[in-house]
Structure 1
Amino acid sequence: MTEIVRAAGAAQFLSFVPRLAGITPVRSVVAVPFTGRRTMGLMRLDLPGAGHAGERAFAATLVGLLCRIEGATAAAIVIYADEATRDAPRRPLVRAIEQRMEAAGLPVHDALWVGARRWGRYGDPSVGGARAEVMTGAYEGGLAADAVPPDLEPPFVDAVRHELGRPMAVPVALREDVPAFFERMLADDDQDAAATAALVWALDRPALRDVGLLTWCDGVDRGDQAVRAQLDWEADVAYPMSLARRMWGEGPRPDPPR
C-alpha cells in the first residue's frame, strides 16, 4: 500500500516541509496528508520516547487524527531525529505507523527521515544524502521574515528579534500566572516587543503552547487546569482525557470570538 515518489522528488519534498510547517521541525514526527497528488497541510507531533507500547499508542493517535481529515487519500511520514548516523532512525515507530495506516486503509505516500547529518527513505538505503540538501527551506536562527505578519512595522519586528536574542529576559515575563499572560495577549492588541517575544518563546515550547491554546479556547480556568495537568504529567500522572481531546479537535466548540 506504499506509493513511492521519485528520489529527486523526495529531496525536494523534504525541502518544502519547513515551509509548510512554518518552523524547522526537530525531534518530531511530521505527517503530510494528501488528497490525490495535492498536499492538505501538515501535522507535527513531538517525537515520542522509544518503547514498544508507547510507539504503538502514538501510532494509533497519529493515524486517528489523519483519519479525521476529510478528503485525505494518503499521507507522507517524516521523522526528524537527532541521530548522526547513516542508518534510518526509529524504525519500530515507523513500522507501527505504517501498520496502523494500512489497517485504516490510508496509503503511505512515502516514509522519510532527517537526521543530524543525513536524510533518507525508510526501506530504501539507496535514497538519501546530506542533510543540507533538504534544508533549503528551513528556518534557521530565529524568526523568519516571511513568517511575520505584513502589518507589523520593521522596527517592531527588529525589537522582537532583539528581545529573543536575550535568553534571560524572555522567561522573566512568564514568571507570573501563565494562563493570565496568554489571556492578556489575547485581549490587548497593543503589545510591546518584550511581551511579544515572550509569547513567541512560549509558543515554541510544547508544554506552554498547550496551556496557551487551551486558555485561548476556553478561558483562564481551563488554562489553570492545563498547568496542573502538565505538572502532574511531569510526575508520571496521566494527562486528563478531557484536555487531551480538546487538543485533538474533539469536545465542545471553542468560543469563536476568542
Structure 2
Amino acid sequence: MTTIVKAADAAHFLSLLPAMLGFTPVRSLVLVPFRGSRSIGALRLDLPRDGTDLDAFAATCLGMVCRVPHADALAAAVFSDGSCATGLPGSALLAGIRRAADACGLRVTDALSVGSDGWGSALDPDCPRGGRPLAALALPAPVATATGDQTTGAELPSVHPRQAEAVAAALRAVRAALRDLGEDEAEGPPRRGRRRIHPEALAVIERLDDVVACFEQCLDAAPEALAPFDAALLLWCLSRPALRDVAIVQWAADAPRGIRALEAQRRWEEGAEYPADLAMTMWGDGPRPDPVRLTRALDLTRRLAALAPRAARPGALATCAWLSWALGRSTHADRYARMAADLDPGHGLTQIVRAFVAAGHLPDWAFRAG
C-alpha cells in the first residue's frame, strides 16, 4: 500500500520537515502521519542501535502513528551520517516501516533517506545507487525556519556566579529558618537556643501559607527577575515530591487545579484515595495541558536548576524533565533526567521520566489535536 512521490515533491517535503519539527533532525527517524493529503503532525525518534530487531522497532513506531486520530497514511524519513555510496542509509529500517504500515492498513506516501553525501526515496525506482545530490534539497526556506537539531535548547541558561551564590545563601537561610521553626523535618530538629531568623527567609516562608498563589506568581514573573529568596523557596518546594507534584499539576492547568491538588495531597497523607483525574496528568493522560503554561514553567525551572547549588538541583532538573516530556520534547527530557540521575540516582521522578523515555512512551495528548 504505497504511493510513489516524484523526486521534486520529495525534495520539497524534506525541505519542510525542519519547520514542521522546529529543528533539523540528525541521526533520526521522522514519521509524518497524514489524513488524506494533509499532514497531522510529526514524530521524531532516535535511529535504532546496531543489533536492534528492526521489525519490532518498526511495529512500535507504527503503534505510535496508529494512536493519531484519523491517520490513514504516513511518510517516513531517515536522517543518517552514513554514505549513500553503497545504497540509501536506513533502507532496512524503511523496509520494516513499510511492512508494519501495510500490516496496520496505512498507506506509505514516501520512504526517504538523507545521508552524508546524498538522498533518495526507497520508492523511487529511478533513484541512482549513490543517491541524488544534496544540492537538490537546497530549496527556498519555508516561512518558519528552524535552527539546530533535536538537542538544541536543552542547555541550562547561563547565570552569573554571584546570582548562584545569592540563591545558595538564601536557600541556606530558608532551610535554617524552617528547621528552627520546626517545619523542616528533613533538616533535623530545631537548634537549642534559637538563632535569629533571617528576616527575608521568614518573609518568604510565609508564602507557604498559600503555596498555590506562590507558584502562580512565580510562573507569571520573568525567570530572570526572580529574587534570590523566591528562587530558594521554589527550590525547596521542588525538592519535596508532594509540593513538586502540586506545582506540576497546577502549572499544567491553572490555580484552581493546584488548590485541588494540594488538598488531595493532604487527604492522601491522611489515608484518602488520590483523585484519578489529577494522577492522570502526571502519567500523561487526561486533558491536554496548556502548552503556554508548560513552556513558561519550563523556562522557570530551567533557570532554577541553573541557579541551584548541586545538592538542591535534582528536584528542579526532574521537573524540567517532566515538563519537557509533557511538551513532547523527549530528547530534552532525557537530558535533564540524566543530569538529575548523575546527582541523585534514586530520585523518584527522575526514574519515572527516564523510564518513559526509554520505553518510547509519550503523553496521550501528544497524539491528539489541540
TM-score by length of 1: 0.61
Pick the aligned partner of 1:207 from 334, 338, 351: 334
**Distance (whole Å) between structure 1 residues aligned to residue 136 and residue 308 of structure 2:** 38
- Per the alignment, residue 48 of structure 2 pairs with 48
* Separation of aligned partners in 1, 2:320 and 2:89: 42
For the 8 Å contact 2:320–2:336, the answer to whether it is kept is no
1:41-89 CA-to-partner distances (Å, cap 9, x unmatched) read 10000001133x5312211110000011101010000000001224211
Indicate if the aligned counterparts of 2:33 and 2:42 stay in contact, CA closer than 8 A.
yes
SS of the residue 1:78 aligns to:
strand
- Higher relative contact order structure (alpha carbons within 8 Å, sequence separation ≥ 6): 1
Amino acid at match of 1:19: A
Partner SS, residue 129 of structure 1? coil
Higher strand share: 1
Amino acid at match of 1:9: D
Alignment of 1:115-194 (within 5 A): 115-124=115-124, 126-127=126-127, 129-134=132-137, 136=139, 137=141, 139-140=146-147, 176=310, 177-181=313-317, 183=319
Say how many residue pairs are matched. 192
CA pair 91-140 structure 1, distance change in 2 beyond 3 A: same
For 2:147 and 2:116, how far apart are their aligned partners in 1? 14
- Based on CA coordinates, which of the two structures has the bigger radius of gyration? 2
Q: Which amino acid aligns with 1:248?
A: L
For 1:18 and 1:207, the matched residues in 2 are separated by 21
For 2:92 and 2:122, the matched residues in 1 are separated by 11
The equivalent residue for 1:85 is 84
* Alpha carbons of structure 1 residues 181 and 207: separation in structure 2 relative to 1, 3 Å: closer
Partner of 1:76: helix, strand, or coil? strand
Tell me the TM-score normalised to structure 2 length: 0.44
Using the TM superposition, give the Cα deviation of residue 221 of structure 1 relative to its aligned residue in structure 2, in angstroms: 6.0
Q: 1:210 to 1:126 in 2, by over 3 A?
A: farther
- Report SS of the residue matched to 1:26: coil
Aligned equivalents of 2:348, 2:34: Cα separation in 1: 34
- Amino acid in structure 2 at the alignment position of 1:60: A
State which of 220, 225, 229 in structure 1 corresponds to 2:351: 225
In structure 1, stretches of 5+ residues that fail to align are 145-152, 154-170, 188-201, 213-219, 231-239, 254-258
Is the counterpart of residue 25 in structure 1 residue 139 in structure 2?
no
Using the alignment, how far apart are the partners of 1:112 and 1:39 within structure 2?
16
Distance 2:108 2:45 in 1: 17
Q: How far 1:249 sits from its partner (Å)?
A: 2.9
**1:208 maps to amino acid:** R
Question: In structure 2, what residue type is equivalent to 1:107?
Answer: R
Residues 135 and 31 (structure 1), Cα distance of their counterparts in 2 relative to 1, 3 Å cut: farther
- As a proportion of its length, which structure holds more helix? 2
Paired residue secondary structure (1:111):
strand
Query: Conserved in 2, the CA contact under 8 Å of 1:28 and 1:47?
Result: yes
Mapped partners of 2:351, 2:2: distance in 1: 42
Contact 2:317 2:337 in 1 (8 A): no
Asked if structure 1 preserves the Cα contact closer than 8 Å seen for 2:317 and 2:336, the reply is no
**Structure 2 counterpart of 1:78, which letter?**
A
Pick which of 108-117 and 78-87 moved more: 78-87
Look up the match of 1:248: 362
In structure 2, give the amino acid aligned to 1:91.
S
* CA pair 222-21 structure 1, distance change in 2 beyond 3 A: farther
Superposed, 1:48-127 pairs within 5 Å as 48-51=48-51, 53-86=52-85, 87-124=87-124, 126-127=126-127
5+ residue gaps, structure 2? 154-221, 223-304, 324-328, 340-345, 366-370
Give the deviation of 1:248 after TM superposition: 2.9
Question: In 2, distance between residues paired with 1:132 and 1:174?
Answer: 46
